[in-house]
Amino acid sequence: MTRRHDSPREHAVPGRFAGQTAIVTGSTRGIGAGIAERLAAEGANVVVSGRSEDAGEAVVERIDEATGDDAGDAVFVRADMRDSEDVAALAEAAVAEYGSLDVLVNNAGVQTETAADEASLDDWAFVVETDFRAYWLAARAALDHMDRGAIVNVSSNHAHATMPKHFPYNAVKAGINGMTRSLAVDFGPRVRVNTVVPGWVEIERTRDEVPEGRFEEVESIHPTGRIGTPSDVAGAVSFLASEDAAYVTGSALLVDGGRGAVLQDDVLPDYRAREGPAEDGA
């Protein structure tokens, strides 16, 4: 099987964000936790945020345990992204703790298992306020404290193609891509704004969504021969937030193991069976 990149620190670029401060919303687990760990490994002081203090402090502890000479610090700040005051307080907390704010990663997200003809107004508000409105509010709050900075919004491949019973999550993810373009135009040249668009990523929610016994089948229809890990997304976020992407703004980077290149599954080989003997160097 294709080699997995399970550790967010595996391909970290030492010192890439030295002296900088980053906020990662929804970073108590999953993709957000992976992003927080990667940015800290590259020198950023990271504000970990979410609703669960225990889970957030666990992420901070992992960052602290892995801290090397070039690594950054971390602190947890509890925030409910549906609460506009909590969102605004994140930027204030970052500046109060570390003296600056250079990177914002909007990652917090929720979804409901509802179709467009089933979703209630409460479902709509729950998803839209967490996954969409909060991105705008956090970006606006961060702008007040940024001299030259970067914002990375985490969207989803549901912005391009979707499945039943993912409304309004899918609609919101498409909206995030549009928001990124708007923010890039309005915030430039002071702040760059981009989107990372993950496909299948192996987190707790993904395991729950895939029917029993079908996980290997899902892996087999990815040209990479596997689905993603939080580390895969974290690497893309790190690039977009860094000076390596200094001329990139208003863009959406698809990180989906090649699924977006597939027209129909019934013509695919089993990509896992095509692995060569040199996979250790992948």
Catalytic residues, which ones? 169
Distance CA 79, CA 104 (A): 14
